[in-house]
Structure 1
Amino acid sequence: MGEEIKEKPNLSIIALTSFIASFLIARIFTTLNPNIVLISVDYHIHHFWYGIALLAVGGWLGISYQSEKIDRLAAILFGAGGGLIG
């Protein structure tokens, strides 16, 4: 009840920048190289799954640790994961 709410400035900007960058990189890469596909044991591994993994790791880091560096890393991973899914 007496806990102080810690402000985290710029994390939304970091996440948004990371989202836009990964979204554009994924789209440009797939447009320029449509025949490059990662296949493992007859399964096509789509960038969607990388995005889910990055979202999970970024969310876990953001919830589990209270460090300014970790918060920035979590925002980058979360934004990049969202960009790969989007």
Structure 2
Amino acid sequence: VGVSRDPVARQAEFSRRHGFDFPLLSDVDGRVAEAFGVRRRLPLGPLSTRRMTFVIGSDRRVLAVVHSELDMNGHADEALRVLGG
């Protein structure tokens, strides 16, 4: 699952354009960002949240947290590594 502050229509277009086979959720009000601690103290417009990936196991435990503002592929690579793939 991917989550961002973008509205639903923008998420749908982004997903379609990139051929994602997983859901993208819209967190326009920032409640999910706040709950996961990724909201910036000083909002920077579209950069109001930090780019982070949480790898969550089937038992609902967080297995890893990937931090990188610039390396999106690194997020996927690390998540797959943690999951053994």
- TM (norm. structure 1) is 0.24
- TM (norm. structure 2) is 0.24
By percentage of residues, which structure has more helix?
1
Q: Which has the larger radius of gyration?
A: 1
By percentage of residues, which structure has more strand?
2
